[in-house]
Amino acid sequence: MAARAALALAAWLTCLAPASAVLRTSTGNGVQVLTGDTFEAATNDGFWLAEFYAPWCGHCKKLNPILDEIAPEMLANHNMHIGKVDATVHKTLSNDMGVKGFPTLKFRLSGEEEWKTYDGGRKAKDLIGFAERMSNKPVAEIKTDADFDAFIERTYNGAEVGFMLGGSASSDLPAPLVSWWTEMATANQASAYFSMTDRASKLKLPENLPKHLSSYRAGAFIAVVEGGEAPRYFNGIDTAEWLVEGEVNDLLTESVKTWLKESNAPIFSELGSHNFRQLGRMGKLLVIGIVDPEAPGSEDYKWGLKAVAQAVSQGEEFVPRGGAAKAKVAEPVEGGEGEDGVEPYQTDPFEEPLEEMYVYGHLDGIKWKDFIHQFNVYGDLPRLVVLDMPGEKFWEDPTVDEADEIDTFLRDVHGGRVKAQKEGIQGTWNRLVKKVKSMGPMSGLLVVPVILLLMAFFMSPADEDDEYEPPPATEFKKDN
């Protein structure tokens, strides 16, 4: 009798428990398993990050252990709950949330807000940085060198850069500009770090910088700041035009929105599946230095590419070590064909300023040896590739391997003096046609079945996420 009474009491107490406590099912490590029936009530309060996954998805299999690992810390330190939904089972919920690929991460700070898509990195440090940003003020105030160092330290859990609205006196930053910057920071808090200072003239920059880059600009400025690097300034609109009759110019808002997206990356990154697509979709051309990390000279090559990136991004002429003269600018290419039979085609000069056109990185050409074949990279490394990911074209030249040659090549691409190449369907088709021609008139009969097979293959639907993106190393090895 006593046992029955105890069971009845337990059932009654369960009915009195908060709905969210009943609806959330923990995996035992802080990640809540959510369903179409429990999702709304379970996530109605607090800061939530929700993963929509598919059990067969390789990227999901890589992400899930990371979420399991960081969930307790995120809840304890930043009050961020993490949940996950099997999108292949709870399809109605997934469709309502706008899930189109796996994994998809959604977040909101409270039940009153709309769900937003998290587009940042999926490494533990990226997710920790996201939680840290969202649980702090959107703008960090910089008053001292210690404040600045702490701000830079925070950025290492994210894009490794931050944005600064600066001046050397309070009069440089009028109230409308300060309010506007806070609004910009709040709108972009999920993806970037923001700071503000009215004491820029008192802040120290890295001692290794050239004298003309060793202090901040006078007056108001907006800049990308990165540990060990010179600030990279927003130059889209003259500062005299930032305010119109005491209000922030709408043109400034639109221009800075684009600039923030295109500038939220280090001057030089190590490329891989964690950031390749993100950097390739920033709105700039991606300069890829492909190296063999174990080969002699690879570190010198990376140093040279980074030095070019530093010079070009500051709008300066690159000067090699020893002050050697720059290579000759290439003449426009006429006719001919690219390596491996890819048909090059002429591109017009780019309108963007050279210093705002590129984002730079290096890629392990041994780890991604099959992936880089789509860029005609075979055999000896290092190699340089300039990729226009949205435009599905690239530029490469196997003879470019010195820093001064890289500098010249990038300027030639910018000036339309180097022909672009097309990969994917068009590039494969061009190679096949040229191969058939080289085999003679009767050889076409032998390759007709192959052509039909290739056409059927390439005309079938493709996964856009796989285009130009290295897979995680574990999947890459499994598939090959």
Residue in 261, 254, 257 with CA at minimum distance from that of residue 278? 261
Is the sign of the CA dihedral 73, 75, 79, 83 positive or negative?
A: positive
Greatest extent of the chain over all pairs of C-alpha atoms, in Å: 97
The one-letter code for the residue type at 65 is P
pLDDT digits (tens, 9 = 90+) for 28-74: 458 999 999 999 999 999 999 999 999 999 999 999 999 999 999 99
Question: If 0-12 CB within 10 Å is exposed, 13-18 middle and 19+ buried, where does residue 445 land?
Answer: exposed
State both tokens at 275: 């950031």
Q: In degrees rounded to 5, what are phi and psi of residue 232?
A: -115, 115
Average the pLDDT over 322-329 and give the result: 45
The one-letter code for the residue type at 370 is D
pLDDT computed for residue 209 by the predictor? 85
State both tokens at 154: 């925070």
Distance of CA 124 to CAs 68, 69, 130, 180, 213, Å? Answer: 10, 8, 10, 31, 34
Grade residue 329 by pLDDT with cuts at 50, 70 and 90. Answer: very low
**Cβ distance 444 to 436 under 8 Å?**
yes
CA distance 411 to 189: 34
pLDDT computed for residue 208 by the predictor? 82
pLDDT at 128 over 80: yes
State both tokens at 213: 């880059």
Grade residue 331 by pLDDT with cuts at 50, 70 and 90. Answer: very low
Q: State the chain's mean pLDDT as an integer.
A: 82
Grade residue 24 by pLDDT with cuts at 50, 70 and 90. Answer: very low
Grade residue 470 by pLDDT with cuts at 50, 70 and 90. Answer: low
- How many alpha carbons lie under 13 Å from residue 73 in its C-beta half-sphere? 13
pLDDT computed for residue 15 by the predictor? 39
Distance of CA 33 to CAs 29, 69, 87, 93, Å? Answer: 11, 15, 12, 14
Share of the chain above pLDDT 70, in %: 76
| Omega of the bond leading into 390 within 30 degrees of 0 (cis) | no
pTM score, whole prediction: 0.77
Identify the residue with better confidence: 480 or 232: 232
pLDDT at 434 over 80: no
